[in-house]
Amino acid sequence: MKVNPQSVNFTADGKLIDFVQKRMDKIEVFYDKVIESDVYLKIENTSAKENKIVEIVVFVPGDKIRVKKQCKTFEEAVDSACSSLERRLVKKKEKLRMKA
């Protein structure tokens, strides 16, 4: 799957990009029709510790699924967002099976 990581207002290091790629590769296990995904990494300018925002947009045939999570670290946010995404993709897969 093609993953397009984009960091907003900062430069992401190689380790973070690799982590995002590896975690997103696991999503194909749950739904194999994923075309590509955009991963937006943002830092919110607040005094709160949970200022790392990860937004993932996954493109599947005829639809796109968007998940947004905010955590203390990018790794935690990516993990949380991917878990939500996996659940949503499994639901989508089950709905498609019901129709068939």
73-89 per-position pLDDT tens digit: 999 999 999 999 999 99
Q: What is the DSSP string of 2-68?
A: EEEEEEESS---HHHHHHHHHHHHGGGGT-TT--EEEEEEEE--SSSS--EEEEEEEEETTEEEEEE
Give the sheet arrangement for strand 2-8, strand by strand.
2-8, 36-43, 52-60, 63-71
Which pTM was predicted? 0.91
pLDDT digits (tens, 9 = 90+) for 49-73: 889 999 999 999 989 999 999 999 9
Is 11:70 a contact under the CB 8 Å cutoff? Answer: no
- Go through the domains of the chain in sequence order and give each one's CATH number: 2-99 (3.30.160.100)
